[in-house]
Amino acid sequence: MFGSQKTYSIAEVTDGTSNTIAMSERLCEQRSPRGSPGPATVGARQVEHVMAVAIGVGGLRTAPNVCRTTTDGKYYVAGTPVQGRWGIVWTDGQPMYVGINTVLPPNAPACSEDSSNYGDQVHLVLPPNSRHPGGVNCVFVDGSVRFISETIETGNLAAGVTQTRNGPSLYGVWGALGSKDGGETVSTP
């Protein structure tokens, strides 16, 4: 869930290639060139939560929904430290720069429990985001592209990685789509 770097073969995708997300879109912050100082502490209505990652968000591992407290619904709240370097060093491969995960729904805020300004954070929630009203486009392992609504069922967002379990994702249909063996399927209109 949070920064796993393990790779899998296509044979290990047991819930079907049409039910597993390979990648999705995420907006690229344009104003932070590589090597820029940071993080920045934002003022009120200064940085949209789809354009940066709140850092130093305590309790994220035990309750990912704590990330929602960093935003007023569109902007990060005043006093939130953010790192806005998404997409600037895509060849580095760090999750902070290029990753997404299926914990918080599409277009939700992104957060890191770590306070580092670099992309090597481990405990992150990085939902995909876009300027499309109501959701994002996702590419599935089978090569299909589907629009996923930001109201997709997300299960128990108060459940963190300290809880271990087998079977379906704690994060509902959305969480299952981001795993190779979540077991749930999604239907699109």
Q: What is the pLDDT of residues 139-148, one digit of tens each?
A: 998 899 999 9
The whole-number pLDDT of residue 101 equals 92
For residues 142 and 17, is the Cβ–Cβ distance under 8 A? yes
Spatial distance between the Cα atoms of 65 and 46, rounded to a whole number of angstroms: 22
Predicted model pTM = 0.83
Sign of CA dihedral 173, 178, 182, 183: positive
68 pLDDT exceeds 90? yes
20 pLDDT exceeds 70? yes
Spatial distance between the Cα atoms of 8 and 89, rounded to a whole number of angstroms: 24
The whole-number pLDDT of residue 115 equals 78
Please report, in angstroms and rounded to a whole number, the separation of the first and last CA atoms in the chain: 28
